[in-house]
Amino acid sequence: METEKFPLAPPHNTIQNDHHEVSQGTEEELGRKMPRKRIIQCIAFAAFVVLLIVVVLVFTVVVFRFKTPKFRLREALIKSSSIASSFTTNNTEKYSVNLLLDAEFTINNRNYGRFKYEPGSVVFSYRGFALGRAFIDDGRVRGRSSEKINTVVVLNSAGLDGRAESQLGRDVEAGVLTLTSYAELEGKVRVLGIKKKKSPKLSCSMDFVIAPGSHSIQNFKCL
């Protein structure tokens, strides 16, 4: 008796089907992973842009924030001084005061760019009357630095009117003359090619103390 033989299916068809199913699974996984990867990349790029904007804003606020430099009288030493008295025709005693001061000024530039200033002068006064001036030459101060300016100042009371002269006599006898100094320097601050006008002001007061056998400057105060 003969047995019927049935042909076997080719094995390679099963392999192809399995390979096709694996390929489809891989493509589906890649399809799911790609959008997630792109989202992460977009978030990272957005974070970088935000960080860059913050850095630029901070840089702009800090560097391009123009500040007025500080102009101060730091010290005034008496090199020589004299106080003389005389009598007028109506037998009134009149005083005259002469001072030679060695003054030190400072300009503190708080900006990141240089400060260039024009020539100026510091007026020293007594009760609103100018006694003399300290002359300041033009110059420049580098960013975030200070500069010292030393000069000699000659002060005398020759220009006082009658009322101020009378008060001068009383202050001399009391032993204290209050002097004031004022100035305004014209200049410009330059940062990365951008210029802005800045005019630092100086406003100080001091006491010229008259003691037996000695004269001194005390009680410096600057605004």
Closest CA to 178 of 143, 220, 123: 220
Averaged pLDDT of the chain: 86
Check residue 152 and give its pLDDT. Answer: 96
Q: What is the pLDDT of residues 110-121, one digit of tens each?
A: 999 999 999 999
Sign of CA dihedral 112, 67, 202, 115: positive
The answer to whether 198 and 136 are in contact (CB under 8 A) is: no
Residue 27, token pair as written in the block: 């493509």
Give the pLDDT band of residue 59 (cuts 50, 70, 90): low
Burial class (CB in 10 A: 0-12, 13-18, 19+), 107: buried
Amino acid at 89: T
Least-confidence region, from 32-46, 75-89, 113-127: 32-46
Angle at Cα 132 formed by Cα 127 and Cα 137, nearest 5°? 130
Q: What is the pLDDT of residues 85-138, one digit of tens each?
A: 998 878 888 999 999 999 999 999 999 999 999 999 999 999 999 999 999 999
φ and ψ at residue 134, rounded to 5 degrees: -105, 125
Kindly report the pTM of this predicted structure: 0.74
Give the pLDDT band of residue 44 (cuts 50, 70, 90): confident
Query: Does residue 62 or residue 36 have the better pLDDT?
Result: 36
